[in-house]
Every structure is written in structure tokens, then in C-alpha cells.
Amino acid sequence: MVGNNAPDVFTNHLAKYPEFATKDQLVDIQPLVERDQVDIEQYIGDLAELWTRDGQRCGLPKDWDTIAIVYNEEMFEAAGVDPATLADMTWNPQDGGTFGELMRTLTLDANGNNALSPDFDQNNVA
């Protein structure tokens, strides 16, 4: 892509396309979606919107794949975590956002300290 010889169409992944987008390697296809009258409503929920970034449409879903989080209800209950908080989590590469905080909340050492505690023993994770 950097050499300007990439294919016009390729299969991408939601976890990967932001890197291409930030490097200006993708074309906004929204004008083509409008020209060809692609019905965005055919996609379940907000699946098509996951492919938008900074007001541009970087792609369309190729299938009905979704991204999901699987969690242990007993661990959440023991840690006092409401599963509803999963809907509003954030992530960033600096500190992991609220997703990273949740992971630290659920990570326990052999003494029962979670990774948010100053007493957490990272060399003895249970």
C-alpha cells in the first residue's frame, strides 16, 4: 500500500483498518455507497458503522462477523463488576482505558490483591 500499488478491493479486519486509515491508505467509499445506493440498513445493528472513521466510510462488512467479549459471571460478581459496564468500555494504547482497568480489577495475585492494588504481586498472579 505504501508503494501505491495496492489492489482496489481487499479483505480487511476491524482490528486492522484503523492503521491503514491513519496512514491515509484507504479511500472514503461513502460517495460510491451513495452512488450505487448500497442499503446500509441491510447490516445488523451498527455493524456497517464500525467501518467509519472521522466522517469517512473505510469499508463495508463482508459478512455478519461480530466482535464479542466473553466473561465469567462468577468472577464479575466476586469482583463487584456490573456486566452492564462492558457496553461503555474504552481502550487506548497508553493505559488500556476502562478495558485495561477492568482487566486489572479482575487480575488477582495469590494473596487476593487485584492489579489495581499497590500490594499486587505481579510475579505471583493467581
Domain that holds residue 4: 1-64
Q: Which residue has the cell 461513502?
A: 30
109 sits in which H/E element: none
88 and 120 in a single domain? The answer is yes
Mean pLDDT of 14-30: 87
The pLDDT score that the predictor gives to residue 69 is: 84
19, 43, 64 - which closes a domain: 64
Q: Which residue has the cell 463488576?
A: 81
> What is the C-alpha separation between 1 and 16, in angstroms, rounded?
14
Q: How many domains does the chain have?
A: 2
Percentage above 70 pLDDT, the chain: 98
73 and 42 in a single domain? The answer is no
32-48 confidence digits (pLDDT tens) = 999 999 999 998 888 89
Task: Using alpha carbons, list the distances in angstroms from residue 1 to 4, 53, 84, 97.
Answer: 5, 19, 40, 30
60 and 86 in a single domain? The answer is no
23, 42, 64 - which closes a domain: 64
60 and 94 in a single domain? The answer is no
35 and 80 in a single domain? The answer is no
Number of other CB atoms surrounding residue 98 within 10 Å: 16
72 and 60 in a single domain? The answer is no
44 and 91 in a single domain? The answer is no
79 and 41 in a single domain? The answer is no
4 and 59 in a single domain? The answer is yes
79-116 confidence digits (pLDDT tens) = 999 999 998 999 888 999 999 999 999 999 999 999 99
The pLDDT score that the predictor gives to residue 2 is: 72
Distance between first and last Cα of the chain: 44
2 and 57 in a single domain? The answer is yes
- Asked which of 3-12, 46-55, 87-96 is least confident by mean pLDDT, the reply is 3-12
pTM exceeds 0.85, yes or no: no
Task: Using alpha carbons, list the distances in angstroms from residue 54 to 16, 22, 50, 61, 118.
Answer: 16, 10, 11, 18, 39
77 and 57 in a single domain? The answer is no
